[in-house]
Amino acid sequence: MKRAVPCGDGEIDFVYDVARLDEKLLLNALRELGASVRLVNVAELVAPEGLGRVGVIRLAARSRVVPAAYTYEANGGLSINSA
């Protein structure tokens, strides 16, 4: 079941499907820099409500990268991904 999670201004969504070592390291680095980061499993991603202003898109399933990035960009946000 998909759900929208309320977020605050300036929050970064860390969108993932599999929590690999590089995702864990990147998440820890963002938090150490003082960034407000919220974990979002791509299976729970809904739009347009509940999105942060920035989405760090880290998905193993390449077929989901573009739709997830588009979800943020179509709603005036910014997506950062490895594609």
Domain boundaries, the chain: 12-81
Cα–Cα distance list, 29 to 13, 22, 76 (Å): 14, 11, 25
Could you read off the pLDDT of 43-83 as tens digits, one per residue?
A: 877 655 567 788 899 988 888 888 888 888 887 888 887 54
Q: State residue 25's pLDDT score.
A: 94
Whether residue 6 has pLDDT greater than 70: no
Burial class (CB in 10 A: 0-12, 13-18, 19+), 19: middle
pLDDT at res. 4:
46
Task: Give the start-end residues of each E strand in the chain.
Answer: 12-16, 37-41, 54-58, 78-81
Give domain 12-81's CATH number out of 1.10.3210.10, 2.40.30.10, 2.30.40.10, 3.40.50.20. 3.40.50.20
- pLDDT tens, 8-43? 555 888 988 988 999 899 999 999 999 889 888 888
